[in-house]
Amino acid sequence: METGSPLAAFDCPHCGYSNPAASQFCVHCGTNLARRQPPPAPAGESADEPNDLAAAQETAPPRPGVASEGRKPSAGSTDPGAPRTRPHGSSEAEEATGETGKEKPEPDAVRPGPSLGGLGGLLEPADPLAFIASDAGALDPTRDPSTALSGELTTDEEERRQLRQLFSEDLPLPVGARPATTSDTEETARNGNGLQRQFWLEMVLLLGMVGALLWGGQLPPGGAGPHPLPGLEQVHRQIDTLPPNSLVLVNWAYDPATAGEMDLVAKPLIEHLLQRQAKLIVFSQLPGGPATARRVIASAEESLQRPSRTQITANLVIEAGYLPGGAASLPLLGVAPARALPVDPGWVELRERFSIAALGETGPALSLVIAARAEDVRRWLEQVQPLNGGPVVAATSAVAGPAVRPYLHSGQLAGLVSGWDGGAVYVRRLDRARGAAEQGRSLRLASGQNWGVAILILALLLGNLAGLNQRRYR
Amino acid sequence: MYSFRSGWFNRIFLLIVLTCASLIIASRFGLTFIPPLVSTTLYGWALLLGAFALMLGIANTVRFHLVRVQRGQREWHLSLLLLIVFALVLGAGISSPGGTTGLLSEWIFDAVVAPGQATLYALTGIFLLSAAYHFLRIDRPGGLWILAGALLMLLVQTPFLYRILPDALVDLVDWLLSWPVMAAMRGVLLGGALAVLFISLRLFVNGAK
């Protein structure tokens, strides 16, 4: 990508980043620049010529919302077409002018529809400067933003732009793009680097890492593959101490999208629960969750090598189905699970109804959250666990593991198994021999992961080699 | 919430929301003057609203794509395909006595839904690879640290390297996860919770004006 001469630069009205003139979107913040470009040059003139474009920007009539967008607004500008801080609200109007190519529409025509206007207000990021402003009317939702902001583009606008630029400095840039030179960096170049905090922060982190390399080997061994897998022992202990026929509430928070990894984590735990003859009440907040749960539970029953799978299913597993409503419906599970669980009374047998009723009276002996995302565990710990007070253990993907660990350390989570290696370690703790097919499947999955990660490492190295090579020839 | 013509409508709705929120907050703080039945009923309503929103979403999707097909808008064929698949899956669930556990529903799940979802999710691996190739560069600001962290995690979590990696490296990654990453995660959790709280308050205050 060619950055071109300074004249061809096109400042983003949202973040102030200097984009090439032909950019459709800002490479920094993604703002649509196409609608803000100056009008196309007349026939016979080249629109790609930087000087022509710059001249067009200078000489174009001040069409509101279009012509003056390419320039940074000056402090105190009262141009109604100057860039606004409300991309949501203004996009429809700009789209209308861009598509029809007509003159400025009437204010009524550019105003977004009622529903979209409300949505835009909800999605608009919080603006601390708006609270500081003494004008209370700035927060009045009944005011029309298109007219309200047009006359208030003063120094606040410039401050906001600088703030946005400050916070977006470290965003990744496309290959070949050069970061915009700001006045701050120019000033630093004149004055020298000084005592930069970043340098000392990096040195402290480096020393910490060297210390961990030197003395980390003296820590007690984890004994679970290469990682200690914190929380795994606690899960095993929690399930192992369950008396027979204990009620266990299982939140099945993954579907086939992540089943490749999650099945390996979930199955050993379900197996262990069935071994302990716990009574599982399984529900899901994902449409594909109940069907996924059925398959994993059936597979776990096969692994147990019991004579009658049907009998196990009938006695130990209650399929409570799909629970809609997301986080808002979870508290009902904490205070009145019998009311919350979406069991169809037409086909649920009488004894299962009694089980669910007992769940409401005594609460679950254990709650198990099997989740591919950390958010599902967090929701359970915030919305359900404080209300029923029961112990909660979680089985998560490897990605979600680090995000869930703080809850384990704080004691809100009674145990944690994460990642396929956590599942593999858990399988070894179960009191049964693994079949050849099961071992073969596990090996295939591990092999697939090997190849995937090896390719990723290779891509990282190649990308960096290519980048350094490109830099050398530049 | 802001778009009603009459300000009184907004205020009435806001009052209902505030009352419900106050009751739930009071019950969650264990205030005894709120009967448990009230909060339980409100939770039950939330569940009903969730189910209703789901139905509304389905109806809206069907209507949206029906209009696209009727007007022959761009890529209306895909909308038609979506409607046909929707009708087939719905018909399979309703017509089978077993409902979602019926043979046809199970077949659709095994043959269409599960492979489709898994395939779409697997595509994120390609996006990840492309992003890593383009953006995890050593010559970017802070790129060395990001690259070193990514490589460390990848190396240590790769099974075929378990046997050849030194224990110190594994311990290093565990130290990183247990201390700096954990500290950052807690900060993110706390900051996120506070942000949600203040944004909610801001919405209320904005709506009340």
pLDDT tens digits for A289-335?
999 999 999 888 888 765 544 445 556 777 778 888 888 889 988 88
Can you spell out the DSSP letters for A73-135?
PPTT---TTS--S-HHHHHHHHHHHHHH--SPPPHHHHSPPHHHHHHHHHHSPP-HHHHHSS-
Contact B137, A461 (CB under 8 A): no
> How many Å separate Cα B114 from the centre of its chain?
19
Does B132 sit within 8 Å of A460, measured CB to CB? yes
Of residues A95 and A247, more confidently modeled: A247
A281 contacts A318 by C-beta, under 8 angstroms: yes
Nearest to B48 by CA among A324, A283, A253, A327: A324
Question: CB distance from A115 to chain B under 8 Å?
Answer: yes
What b/e sequence results for A280-291 when a residue is b if at least 16 CB atoms lie within 10 Å of its CB, and e otherwise? bbbbbbbebbbb
Task: Give the relative orientation of helices A309-316 and A289-304 as an angle to the nearest 10 degrees.
Answer: 130
Q: How confident is the model at residue A72 (pLDDT cuts 50, 70, 90)?
A: very low
Q: What is the pLDDT of residue A73?
A: 42
pLDDT at A121 over 80: no
Is residue A46 scored above 50 in pLDDT? no
B47/A213 CB distance under 8 A = no
A425: Cα separation from own chain's centroid = 29
Residues 78-97 on B with a CB inside 8 Å of A are none
**Nearest chain B residue (CA) to A205:** B180
Q: What is the pLDDT of residue A125?
A: 46
pLDDT over 70, % of chain A: 52
Q: Look at strands A18-19 and A317-322 and give their pairing.
A: unpaired
C-alpha B182/C-alpha B175 separation (Å) is 10
Q: Could you tell me the pLDDT band of residue A54, with boundaries at 50, 70 and 90?
A: very low
Cβ distance A291 to B151 less than 8 Å, yes or no, reads no
Top pLDDT among A447 and A248 is at A248
Residues of B in contact with A450 (CB under 8 A): 158-160
Which pLDDT belongs to residue A100?
A: 42
pLDDT band at A71 (very low <50, low <70, confident <90, very high): very low
A139·B137 Cβ contact <8 A: no
Q: Return the ∠ at Cα B105 (arms to B101 and B110), rounded to 5°.
A: 100
How far, in Å, CA of A59 to CA of A61, rounded?
6
- From A177's Cα to the closest Cα of chain B, the distance in A is 11
pLDDT at B93 over 50: yes
Q: A431, A452 in Cβ contact below 8 A?
A: no
- CB A324 to CB B53 under 8 A? yes
Contact B3 A219 (CB under 8 A): no
- Residue A175 near chain B (CB below 8 Å): yes
ipTM: 0.81
Q: What is the mean pLDDT of chain A?
A: 68
- The per-residue pLDDT for A86 is 41
DSSP characters over B22-59? HHHHHHHTT-TTS-HHHHHHHHHHHHHHHHHHHHHHHH
Among A43-57, A178-192, A344-358, A369-383, the least confident range: A43-57
Q: Kindly report the nearest CA distance between residue B78 and chain A, in angstroms.
A: 22
Alpha-carbon distance of A283 to A248, in angstroms, equals 11
Tokens of A164: 């946005």
Report residue A243's pLDDT band, with 50, 70 and 90 as the boundaries.
very high
Whether residue A266 has pLDDT greater than 90 = yes
pTM of the model: 0.65
More confident of the two residues A176 and A67: A176
Secondary structure (3-state) at A232: helix
Task: Answer whether residue A160 shows pLDDT above 80.
Answer: no
Give contacts of A 296-315 with B, CB under 8 A: none
Contact call for A328 and B50, based on CB within 8 A = yes
Average pLDDT, chain B: 84
Mean pLDDT of A217-243: 72
> What is the mean pLDDT of the segment spanning A17-38?
74
Q: Tens digit of pLDDT for each residue in B145-173?
A: 888 888 887 877 776 666 677 878 877 87
Judge whether B79 and B69 are in contact, CB under 8 Å: yes
In sign, the C-alpha dihedral spanning B117, A279, A274, A413 is positive
B138 and A468: CB-CB below 8 Å?
Answer: yes
B positions 161-180 inside 8 Å of A (CB): 162, 165, 167-180
Residue A188 has pLDDT above 90, yes or no: no
At A347 the pLDDT is: 52
Report which of residues A165 and B9 the model is more confident about: B9
Whether A115 has a pLDDT exceeding 80, the answer reads no
